[in-house]
Structure formats: structure tokens, C-alpha cells
């Protein structure tokens, strides 16, 4: 495939509003994603993500560059709302390890345990009682783990 | 089955904190649920719900009494956050008609169109691009329908 | 929100057929749910449910009052049919811990092991071979656990 | 691949209990499947199935030979219970056209409309309110269609 | 049910093209399925499948006769493509143990580890990042297990 | 958030192997994605994608830049295998409109109709008969639409 300039993208990138997006390098996107994960995770990198980097480098770069650097870095929603929405989606889908990670980020961003419990209660309506019960058990594990780590946000 | 008083519930309902919950009648729960749906839906009842009442009375009562009267009436989360979380869950699950109804309630509660679009963008991460694209198409339909109804919140 | 009497619910609760439903208190619903779980679980409470009560009181009440007290206590279907339907749904959805609990209740209600195996075979059609194989493994665990507990229904 | 006799299957097919299974031809399985679909569908073939036969012959044969001839023809569960279990699974999975077909078969087998409605109510617990509402809407369509066809079981 | 010859199947089985299909016995289908699993699994039977045989004989026969003997034995797709398609489907559905088994079969059939990683990357688009991350973790476990077994294809 | 250079990304981007990735601009990624979609879609842009651009610009850019420009442009898998894997995943998940689009791309890349039908047959094993039947109906619609458009690959 010859990556010739296509007319569509050339026109788009000449728009003043698109200029800074189009000029951004992947290094800048990766840096921003790395910043985002540290801001969510109390200054540390994310162990699940780092565990993937050696063997699945493209996936690690996609998480850092796209999921964190492009999506999670967007403005409009504040961090609390974004995290509660993510927890609601992961609870409904039954993605327990991801619900746990993002519920921890929510607590770091100032969400209260009581607010996370409300997402569990909503899940009975969205997706039924088994999904809600598993979400409750997931939060319960998280709350215990954080109670044992002094210094973690609560 | 003889519905004799079981020791567990009797003890629970003697707690001062549980007294008002235990004494509440189903009529009160249904009234509260009816209030909730009207507060979400700009003063009107919900057509999908009313369409079920004659043929599926238990389901209609469960929606009004449990889903709306018990869950949606809870305190802790404000209406905006609850609606954004519900939209995120319905988008991730691919429940398009329910995403549309609750995105409309979100707009009624003061959520901006731009905020709903952010939920779509998060959905690419939670559940992949097909679910996000369908969520975008669902919002697009909703925005068009509301643009054609003068007086609807925007 | 002022929980004023809405016209709709007031009219509904004046119907002779709705009177006993509307007058019921949540204490009565919780008692009935507690009765239901004990009738399903050979006289005992349910450990998963009780594990949730302290930390997620609303969820525990929703399970006891709504899922068990309202839905599972309904007439029309006998206990065997209701349990086989629940097992079929949980098998198809891949909700293994809930399939196991409800398959145990089915055995308590007189369902034969052979009948539960048929639900596994149907699952190959409903949801594919992986879901069916996991359902078979779940039943296998259950059968072994009950074989080791003298006195359990078989 | 040379389809040589493998030791395992040869030994299995020498068991007295496996002899009739092993000797059965695919023609016999297809005939049995065709019988099953006609017994479920008031004597007629199934239009969705027949629509697939010309373009997807293997799929049509797999439905007739395996899903109907092997699985649905099994003993142990009576037709009413099998159909209610299938309806519960399809409702929970959101497979509306298949829920509709099998709910129709259930009515043909003597299941009452009231019993099918109970499956909808259970679905609120298994899979949440959106799935249950869609299942209710699906039954509602089915009941209307059958009410308009004189002679259909009700 | 009297399994009388139905006109439809009788006519079908008189077609020259259907004759060999119709005449095949279940023993032949089981033999072919057993051949298929051994060709996929480096000459051995499949432990998960054999674990089911005593307690769930119909399921084991359905896997051997239908899933392996009928579906997996089909011509048209080569083994590499069939296995990559199966891995993509299992990754998207979150069926980790089955993804692992079939990724192992893929390696046995000559698929490269790098090609399996590409399926993980596609999964971010099909089904979101949590499913892709779990698929990566599943492959990682598989690669480690095979690295420790001398003689396994890599 | 101040997007300061983080040590991790800075070190990564100094690796010779990462240099060209890190230096790439988003304009280059968008151009490549636009090339990819045209190569898949017989030289045209994709109507579903273009329909999103005005109202959901971030989503359109994520599809073009990430899904197409990063993921679909990757080497290792040839276009035929990638499209068959995508069709298998979309069929298993029940994403009919996306299965249709990607099955069309598969035909454009030289995949035969017979090969796509095999994916449907595999879907009975991966995800059950309802998903396979819907996948068959989706292919059937696609084949008809292409048969009516002279010049389309078949």
C-alpha cells in the first residue's frame, strides 16, 4: 500500500480547528496517555498495562496512546463522572478486573464508596441481579485491599 | 407456603434505621416511582412503560415500584450522574431503545449533548467500535427527534 | 421531590384487584422473600446473599424483597419449572455461580440430575458449545459437593 | 485426512448401550428432526429454517439433524418444560426472533400465555429490565399474531 | 412420536448429491470427529472433552459427532484460517478456556505466535479493550505453558 | 494536567525500533486509515463512517486513525485472513451491520462466498444456532445486494 495523501484527510487537516490534532505526533499521544494513567493511579503506572508491554507491544501502545491518551484525556466530562460511567459499563458487562481498576481510580478521583455502591444498585436494573451481585463482590474486594494499604485514598 | 414471620426479618425491622423502610406500603413505592418517571420525562408518563401495563401488569408494577420507586429514587447520586451512568451501561450492552430513553432523560436533567457524545467515545474502550457506532447512531436519532419537537430540552 | 399522590397510582390502588398488592408493606415482602429462600435452600438462608447484607444493604433488600419476595414467590409456575428455566437462562448467559445455586435449589425441589443435564444439552443450541461445556462443568462440581454432604437431596 | 477407525470410537460403538446410536444414519436423524419441527409447529415446516435451505444447506441440515433431531428429540424433559426453558434462555440472551418462534411452539404444546409471562418476569432477575421489556414486547406481538389466525392454539 | 419417513427428507436423500451424507452412520461421524481432534491436538485426545464423557455422554458425543465430525471436518477453509477465525470469535466473546485450546490447535497447525497476537489487536476493535487484554493474558499463559513442554509446536 | 515528558515514554521513543512510530503524526495515521478503508471498499469511502463525521468527529477520527490506520493497517495477517477473523467475531457477537460491511470487504479482497458460509457454520459451535442463523440471513442480504450491483466483486 502506498500511503499517498488522500484528498479527504488533506482537506480536513487544512481546517484551522483540526490543525493541532493533525500535527500531533504519536510520542505526544503516548506521553499524554502516560500522564493520564499516573493521574488516575495515584502517580504510579498500571501493573496490568505494564505486564502486557513486552509481549504485546502494540496493545500496550494502543492502551496508552488511544484509550488513555486520546479517549481518557478528553475534556468535557470531569474525572469523577467519567470513572462512574466506566464502572457502570464494566459492571453491566461483567468485566470484573476492569471494574475493579476503574473503581479504584474513581476513589482516587474523590468518588465516595457510597457512590460506587449506587452503581451496583443501578446494575440490577441495567443487567440483572447476577451482574449486580458480582459487581458488589468486586467492590468489596477492592475496599478490603485499600483498607489494608495505608495511604490509599478511601 | 405459609408466610409466617421469620426471625431474621422481624429482627431487621425492629432496627430504628430500618423502621421507615419496613413500614412503607407498595402503594407508596408505586407513587414514588410514578413521581420519578414524571420528573425524568418532563412531566409525562413513559409510553413504553404504559404500553406494558395492560398485558404485563406485574412487569409494569416492577418497573414503577422497584426500578423507579426503589432504585432510581435513591439519594447519593444526582440525576445527571445517574443518567450518564445508565447511558454508559446501555451503550455498552447494546440496549439501544433504553439508551435512547435514558439519554433523553439525561438531556431533561440538564446534561449537554456534548456530554452524551463523550459516553459514546468511552464506549469504544469499554465495548468496541460497533457498540460505540450504534450508540452514536442512537443519539443522532434522539437529537433529531428533539430538534423537531419545540419545547423539548436540548 | 415531594412524593405527592399521583392520580394514576391512586386510581390503580382503588381497584379491588390491586387493593391487597397496594396495602402490602415492605416488611411483608421481605418476610415472604426470606420464606422463599429458605424453601428453596432446604431451610437455610443463602450464604452469598447474607455475605452482601452488611456492606450492600440495599442490594440484599432488593434480592430478598424484589427478586425473591416479589418474583420468585409468584404463583403460576411450579418450583421445578421455575428453577429449570432459571438454570437454562443462567447457563446461556454464562453466570456460573448463579447457575450452581439455582441448580442446587432445583435438586431440592425434586428436579432430577438427569433433567439438569438436559438443560446443558439445550444450551449447545441456545448459546453454543463453550457455554454448554462450562454449564456441564458447573453441574459436575455441584453434584460432587452434594455427594459429599450426607442428607442433601440428590 | 484418512478417516481410519480410531480405537476409541470402535470400543464405544461395541457397547450394547451405544449400538443403536452408532448404527443410526444421518437420514434417520434428519427424518426425526423433521418430525420434531412438525410436532412443534402444528404440522408445518418452519419458514425460517426452510428459507435457509437453498443457500446454507449445511446449516439447514445441522438444524434439522443436530438441533432438532438430536437435541430437541431427546427424552427426559417433556415438551412444555423444554420450551419454557428455551424461552427463558432466548429472553435472557435477547434473541427475539427465536424467543418468538419457541414461545409459539410452547403455546402449541399446551403452555398457557400466563406461563410465558412468568418467564418475562423471571428475566428481570436473570438479565435486567431492558431484556425483560423486550421479551414482553415479543410475546405481545406473538399473542396478537395468533389472535388474528383462527385455528391457532391459544 | 412415530418416526415415520417424512416426504421432505425422503426426497432430499434421493438426490445424488445428498446420498453419501444421508447414508453416513453416527459411528462414522464419531470416528471422523475423533480423527479431527487428534489432528488438531498433536495426536492426543482433548482432556476437557474426555472429562465430560462419563457424566455428560450426550454432550461428549455432540462435540465429537457434530462440532468436530460435522463442522470442524468440513472442507473449504484450511486449518490455519479456521483456527484463527475460532480464536477471534472466542476472544471477542470472552471464552478464555476455549480461546486457549483453539489457539494451541492453531500453533499446532502452523500458525505463528505473531499471527495470534494480531487477533488480540483486532479484538480491541471488535469488542473493546477489556476483552483484548484478557485475550492477551490468555495467549501469554498458553505461550508459557508450551515453552515449558519440550516437543510442542511453537 | 501539564503534559510534561514522562520518563517512560521518552526512553521508549529513543529506541531505534520505536523511532518511526513515535515520530508519526496524526495526519499520517488518518491518511493511512483513509487508504485502508478505500482499499477495503473498492476505492470508496465508507458511508456509515462518513455519516458519523459531522456529529461525532472524535469517533470518526478514532475509526480512521486508530481502528483503520493503526489496527487494520498492520502487517502480519493478509487481508483475507483478517476479514474472515473479523466476520467470525462479528457473527459471534451478533453485530449484524458490521458483519455485513466486513463480509463485503472480504469479498472485495478475494474471499469466496463459500468461505463466508463456513464462518456461519463455525458460529453454530462458537455462539449457538440463533447467532448462526442471523449471520446466514445477513450474508444472504449482502449476496443479494451485490448481485444487483453490476461490477461488484462476487
Best residue of A126, A127, A129 to probe chain B, by most B CBs closer than 10 Å:
A126
Residue D2 phi, psi (nearest 5)? -90, 120
Q: Is A82 on the interface with B (CB under 8 A)?
A: yes
pLDDT in tens, A49-76: 999 999 999 999 999 999 999 999 999 9
Residue contact A73–F1, C-beta within 8 A:
yes
- A25 contacts in chain F (CB < 8 Å): 22-26
Q: Is F39 on the interface with D (CB under 8 A)?
A: no
Are F107 and F151 contacting, i.e. CB atoms less than 8 angstroms apart? no
Give the mean pLDDT of F78-104: 98
pLDDT along chain D (154 residues), means of 10: 65 89 96 96 92 95 98 97 98 98 98 98 98 98 93 52
pLDDT in tens, E27-68: 999 999 999 999 999 999 899 998 999 999 999 999 999 999
Are F69 and F26 contacting, i.e. CB atoms less than 8 angstroms apart? no
Which residue is listed with cell 471464552? E95
What sign does the dihedral B137-B143-B144-B146 (CA atoms) show?
A: positive
Q: Is C118 on the interface with B (CB under 8 A)?
A: no
Task: Please state the pTM of the whole predicted model.
Answer: 0.95
**pLDDT band per the 50, 70, 90 thresholds, residue E8:** confident
Report the C-alpha gap between C97 and C47 in whole angstroms: 12
In the predicted structure, residue C31 carries a pLDDT above the cut 60: yes
pLDDT in tens, C120-130: 999 999 999 99
ipTM of the complex: 0.93
Q: Which three cell numbers stand for residue B124?
A: 469504544
According to the model, what pLDDT value does residue F149 have? Answer: 86
Report the C-alpha gap between E11 and D31 in whole angstroms: 11
Report the C-alpha gap between E89 and E94 in whole angstroms: 9
Report the C-alpha gap between E17 and F121 in whole angstroms: 19
Residue of D nearest to C122 (CA): D71
Q: Which three cell numbers stand for residue F56?
A: 461525532
Which residue is listed with cell 452482601? C52
According to the model, what pLDDT value does residue A17 have? Answer: 87
Report the C-alpha gap between D50 and F55 in whole angstroms: 42
Residue of C nearest to F129 (CA): C125
pLDDT in tens, B58-105: 999 999 999 999 999 999 999 999 999 999 999 999 999 999 999 999
- CA-to-CA dists, residue D54 to D32, D49, D57, F52, angstroms: 20, 10, 6, 37
In the predicted structure, residue B154 carries a pLDDT above the cut 60: no
The partner residue sitting opposite F22, judged by closest CB among A8, A27, A58, is A27
**pLDDT band per the 50, 70, 90 thresholds, residue C1:** very low
Buried/exposed code over D16-42 (b: 16+ C-beta within 10 A; e: otherwise): eebeebbebbbbbbbbbbbbbbbbbbe
3-state secondary structure of B25: strand
With a pLDDT cut of 70, the percent of chain C lying above it is: 94
Residue contact D93–C92, C-beta within 8 A:
yes
- C68 contacts in chain D (CB < 8 Å): none
According to the model, what pLDDT value does residue C150 have? Answer: 67
- A67 contacts in chain E (CB < 8 Å): 129
According to the model, what pLDDT value does residue D101 have? Answer: 98
Are A57 and F21 contacting, i.e. CB atoms less than 8 angstroms apart? no
Exposed / middle / buried, residue E93 (Cβ in 10 Å: 0-12, 13-18, 19+): buried
Beta bridge partners of B25: C25
**pLDDT band per the 50, 70, 90 thresholds, residue B8:** confident
According to the model, what pLDDT value does residue C7 have? Answer: 79
- Average pLDDT over all residues of chain F: 93
Residue contact B136–F56, C-beta within 8 A:
yes
With a pLDDT cut of 90, the percent of chain C lying above it is: 83
Give the mean pLDDT of F4-10: 74
Q: Is F39 on the interface with C (CB under 8 A)?
A: no
According to the model, what pLDDT value does residue E152 have? Answer: 55
In the predicted structure, residue B1 carries a pLDDT above the cut 50: no
Beta bridge partners of D25: E25
Best residue of D62, D63, D81 to probe chain C, by most C CBs closer than 10 Å:
D81
> What is the CB neighbour count within 10 angstroms for residue E80?
15
The partner residue sitting opposite D71, judged by closest CB among C84, C114, C125, is C125
Helices then strands (H, E): number in chain D? Answer: 9, 0
pLDDT in tens, F34-68: 999 999 999 998 999 989 999 999 999 999 999 99
In the predicted structure, residue F1 carries a pLDDT above the cut 90: no
In the predicted structure, residue C154 carries a pLDDT above the cut 70: no
**CA of residue C90 relative to chain centroid, distance:** 11
C-alpha closest to that of A83 among A125, A126, A41 = A41
According to the model, what pLDDT value does residue D151 have? Answer: 61
Q: Which three cell numbers stand for residue C105?
A: 435449589
pLDDT in tens, B25-35: 999 999 999 99
Q: What are the residues whose beta carbons fall under 8 Å from the beta carbon of A141, sequence distance 6 or more?
A: A100
Report the C-alpha gap between C35 and C29 in whole angstroms: 10
Amino acid at each position: 500500500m502506498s500511503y499517498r495523501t488522500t484528498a479527504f484527510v488533506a482537506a480536513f487537516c487544512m481546517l484551522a480547528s483540526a490543525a493541532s490534532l493533525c500535527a500531533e505526533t504519536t510520542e505526544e499521544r503516548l506521553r499524554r496517555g502516560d500522564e493520564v494513567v499516573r493521574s488516575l493511579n495515584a502517580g504510579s503506572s498500571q501493573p496490568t498495562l505494564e505486564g502486557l508491554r513486552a509481549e504485546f507491544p502494540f496493545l500496550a501502545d494502543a492502551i496508552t496512546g488511544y484509550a488513555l491518551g486520546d479517549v481518557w484525556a478528553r475534556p468535557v466530562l470531569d474525572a469523577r463522572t467519567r470513572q462512574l460511567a466506566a464502572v457502570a459499563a464494566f459492571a453491566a458487562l461483567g468485566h470484573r478486573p476492569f471494574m475493579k481498576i476503574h473503581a479504584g481510580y474513581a476513589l482516587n478521583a474523590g468518588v465516595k464508596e457510597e457512590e460506587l455502591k449506587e452503581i451496583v444498585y443501578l446494575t440490577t436494573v441495567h443487567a440483572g441481579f447476577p451482574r449486580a451481585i458480582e459487581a458488589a463482590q468486586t467492590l468489596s474486594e477492592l475496599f478490603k485491599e485499600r483498607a489494608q494499604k495505608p495511604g490509599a485514598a478511601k
